[in-house]
Structure 1
């Protein structure tokens, strides 16, 4: 089964991080990504640009409306994702718990609906 691991973090903390700490985080993510590639769980994954680059789209009464930025102000923002293959939810949770940001942010684990 496929699961989407959504990584939520305080993006301001990342923006304000010194270069040495940012490099350490980058290396941790690289090691994590390599480990799930080697284990066969990895399907896809990427980080996202800051919320300041986001555009929210809504269609109301046939008109497309756009708003700069994310839909809601929150303490944590969606910063990236991994799409993984896991035999069950417990395995997906185990993979999510190893994501570096799980120590300070949160990881949402969501089963993917596969349409056939």
Structure 2
């Protein structure tokens, strides 16, 4: 079963990291990512841009575009991972590995009810059947 692991953090803290601090964190996260890819458990993963650059589409018809997300939370959704795990416990274990690399983040683990691999991103190669 596929699970989404949603990574939350206080955006102001993340943005305050120096380039060296950010690079060190990404090095540790990529160690976990590389292991999960080698195990065939990691699907798409993304680090999201700043919430200040986000918009929300809501309302009837064509909807209205509003500046930014409006969640009343201390942490913001800053990234996500799609993993292929046999159980929720295994997905939690994977999230714990990610937390090892980024111990101040909060991870939400949620089952994915429908997973449709999409077209590759512009400039990226299409995923092979083995990686999906």
Match of 1:74 in 2: 73
- Point out the structure with the larger strand share: 1
TM-score normalised by the chain length of structure 2: 0.80
CA distance in structure 1 between the partners assigned to 2:31 and 2:75 by the alignment: 24
Higher relative contact order (CA 8 A, sep 6+): 1
Q: CA RMSD in A?
A: 1.6
1:105 matches 2:105: yes
CA distance in structure 2 between the partners assigned to 1:38 and 1:63 by the alignment: 43
CA distance in structure 2 between the partners assigned to 1:89 and 1:2 by the alignment: 10
What is the DSSP-based 3-state SS (H/G/I as helix, E as strand, rest coil) of the residue aligned with 2:13? helix
CA distance in structure 2 between the partners assigned to 1:35 and 1:94 by the alignment: 13
Structure 1 outlier segments of 4+, above 4 Å: none
TM-score normalised by the chain length of structure 1: 0.90
Q: Which runs of 5+ in 2 are unaligned?
A: 116-132
Q: CA deviation at 1:63?
A: 4.8
Q: Deviations over 1:16-59 (max 9, x none)?
A: 11222111011111111101101111111110001011111112
CA distance in structure 2 between the partners assigned to 1:3 and 1:21 by the alignment: 29
Q: How many residues align?
A: 114
